[in-house]
Amino acid sequence: MLVDGPHQHGEQAEEGEHGESGSEPAKHDGCGGNKLAVLMKAIVIREHGGIETLDPTEVPDPELRPGEAVVRVRAVALNHLDLWVRRGVPGHKFPLPIIPGSEVAGVIEAVAENDRGWKTGDEVLVAPGYSCGLCVACLPGNDPLCPASGIFGETRDGGCAEKIAVPIRNLLRKPSALSFAEAAALPLDMLTAWHMLVARAELRPGETVLVHAGGSGVGSAAIQIAKLWGATIFATAGSAEKAARAKELGAAETILYRETDFLAEVRRLTGKRGVDIVVEHVGADTFDRSLKSLARGGRLVTCGATTGAEATINIRLVFFKLLSILGSTMGSLAELHEIMKHVEAGRLRPVVDRVLPIEQIAEGHRVLESREAFGKVVLEA
Ligand SMILES: [Zn+2]
C-alpha cells in the first residue's frame, strides 16, 4: 500500500487525537526535564529531506501504558511510506519529530501481567495500523476509516528504535517458521494487497488480474493472494530477473514494462478482452493505460501513486464498459488475522530482498528509491 502517499490521519495526529493509544508522540529532544529517563537508540526524523535527515540518536525508552505492551524490536521492514515520511509531502503535515518504521517483529519486553494472554518474552509481529476498535467504522472491519486510525512510523512513533510501545490488540504471534526479518516483511503489503483484491475488487476464482510492479512489496503480495484465489495473473516487471521471480510466485505471464507497452501486451494475451482487475500503485505513468486494460465490468483498484497523483481518464470508457475505480488503503486487523492463517499454512510467504543492520538504514532507503529490490528491504536490530 502504502506504497505510497501519506494518509489523512496525519491531520488528526496534528490535533493530538490518537485514539485508544492516547499517546502523544514523544518529542525527541533528549531527556527534557526527566533526568532519570532510560535512553534507547533510535532513528529520529526531525525535519524532512534527504537521507541525512535519518538521525541516529538516543531518546527516552517508551512508557508502558495501560492496554499496551513494549516490544523489543528485532526487525523492522521499510516501505515507500518511509520515504514519504522522510521527504515530506507538500500540503501534508507529519507529526515531527518521529521515529519511522511501520512493520515490526520482536519480543515482548514489558506488558501488564498476563494481559489478554501476552507475557514478557513472547515473540510477536505488530499490526502496522491502529484504530479504536470500538467505533462504527472499526466494528464492521473498516479500520482505516476510524477517525482515530493511524500507522506506526507515520502518525505515532514506529519501530526504527530498540523498543516500541503498541496497543495489545496490535500484537500477533510470530509464526515459528519465520525469522524476525521475514515476519517484519509481512503485514503491511500483505494487508494492503489483500484488502485491495478481496475486500475492494471482490476477486472471484477464475478471473484475470494485472499486477503492476510484481517485484514490489505490494506486487509480490498481490500475485500470491490472487493465486490463492485461483486467478490468472499477469505481472509487469522492470527486468527479466524480476519477471522470473514473479513467475515463481504465481504469475502466468510477465510483461517487461520498459521494453513492451503493457496495454498492448494485455490486449494480446487476452485476445483483446482485457483483464478483470488491475492492481494499481504506480499512478500517473500507468493509470490511463491501466483503465484501458480492463475488460467490460472490470475493476481498477489503487493504493498508491509513486510516479505522480494526477491522471486524465476517459469518462465514456468508464460508463460504457461498466468499470469501477476503487481506492484502498491498508486493511483491517481482522483481515490480518485471516492472512496469518495462510502464512502459518505456508500458502502466503514474505518476500525478502535483503536484510541490513539498522545502522544501514540510509542504504535501505537508497535501495528502495532505486527500485532494485525484489520484495522487502528489512532492517535488523
Ligand atoms: Zn474506530
Output the pLDDT for position 232.
Answer: 98
Output the pLDDT for position 12.
Answer: 41
Give the Å distance between the CA of 158 and the centre of ligand 1.
20
Q: Which three cell numbers stand for residue 308?
A: 505522480
Give the Å distance between the CA of 133 and the centre of ligand 1.
5
Tell me how far apart the 2 most distant CA atoms of the chain are, in Å. Answer: 71
Grade residue 312 by pLDDT with cuts at 50, 70 and 90: very high
Q: What is the pLDDT of residues 252-284, one digit of tens each?
A: 999 999 999 999 999 999 999 999 999 999 999
Is a pLDDT exceeding 60 seen at residue 2?
A: no
Output the pLDDT for position 113.
Answer: 77
Give the Å distance between the CA of 8 and the centre of ligand 1.
15
Give the Å distance between the CA of 144 and the centre of ligand 1.
8
Give the Å distance between the CA of 249 and the centre of ligand 1.
35
Question: 318 or 20, which is more confident?
Answer: 318
Give the Å distance between the CA of 63 and the centre of ligand 1.
23
| Through-space distance between the first and last CA atoms of the chain, rounded to whole angstroms | 24
Output the pLDDT for position 306.
Answer: 86
Output the pLDDT for position 35.
Answer: 52
Give the Å distance between the CA of 140 and the centre of ligand 1.
10
Bridge partners, residue 77, by sequence: 103, 378
* 216: nearest Cα among 236, 240, 233: 236
Average of per-residue pLDDT across 147-161: 97
Give the Å distance between the CA of 330 and the centre of ligand 1.
14
Give the Å distance between the CA of 19 and the centre of ligand 1.
8
Is a pLDDT exceeding 70 seen at residue 20?
A: no
Give the Å distance between the CA of 164 and the centre of ligand 1.
22
Least confident span in 4-18, 128-142, 221-235, 309-323: 4-18
Q: What is the DSSP letter of 293?
A: T
Is a pLDDT exceeding 50 seen at residue 16?
A: no
Give the Å distance between the CA of 132 and the centre of ligand 1.
4
Is a pLDDT exceeding 90 seen at residue 30?
A: no
Average of per-residue pLDDT across 200-224: 96
Give the Å distance between the CA of 21 and the centre of ligand 1.
11
Grade residue 313 by pLDDT with cuts at 50, 70 and 90: very high
* 44: nearest Cα among 129, 106, 101, 105: 101
Percent of the chain with pLDDT over 70: 91
Output the pLDDT for position 68.
Answer: 95
Q: What is the pLDDT of residues 331-344, one digit of tens each?
A: 999 999 999 999 99
Give the Å distance between the CA of 28 and the centre of ligand 1.
28
Give the Å distance between the CA of 257 and the centre of ligand 1.
40
Give the Å distance between the CA of 303 and the centre of ligand 1.
21
Give the Å distance between the CA of 197 and the centre of ligand 1.
23
Give the Å distance between the CA of 218 and the centre of ligand 1.
25
Give the Å distance between the CA of 357 and the centre of ligand 1.
35
Give the Å distance between the CA of 12 and the centre of ligand 1.
13
Give the Å distance between the CA of 185 and the centre of ligand 1.
26
Is a pLDDT exceeding 60 seen at residue 89?
A: yes
Q: How far is CA 91 from the centre of its chain?
A: 22
Q: What is the pLDDT of residues 173-182, one digit of tens each?
A: 999 999 999 9
Bridge partners, residue 56, by sequence: 43
Give the Å distance between the CA of 141 and the centre of ligand 1.
9
In this structure, how many other beta carbons lie within 10 angstroms of the beta carbon of residue 381? 18
Mean pLDDT of the chain: 91
Give the Å distance between the CA of 139 and the centre of ligand 1.
7
Give the Å distance between the CA of 199 and the centre of ligand 1.
18
Q: What is the pLDDT of residues 43-80, one digit of tens each?
A: 999 999 999 999 899 999 999 999 999 999 999 999 99
Count Cβ atoms within 10 A of the Cβ of residue 32 and give its class: 0-12 exposed, 13-18 middle, 19 or more buried. Answer: exposed
Q: How far is CA 163 from the centre of its chain?
A: 20
- Single-letter residue type at 6: P
Give the Å distance between the CA of 138 and the centre of ligand 1.
4
Is a pLDDT exceeding 60 seen at residue 248?
A: yes
d(CA 378, CA 302): 24
Phi, psi of 294 (to 5 degrees): -80, 145
Give the Å distance between the CA of 196 and the centre of ligand 1.
20
- Among all chains, which residue has been given the C-alpha cell 519480543? 107
Is a pLDDT exceeding 50 seen at residue 21?
A: no
Output the pLDDT for position 114.
Answer: 75
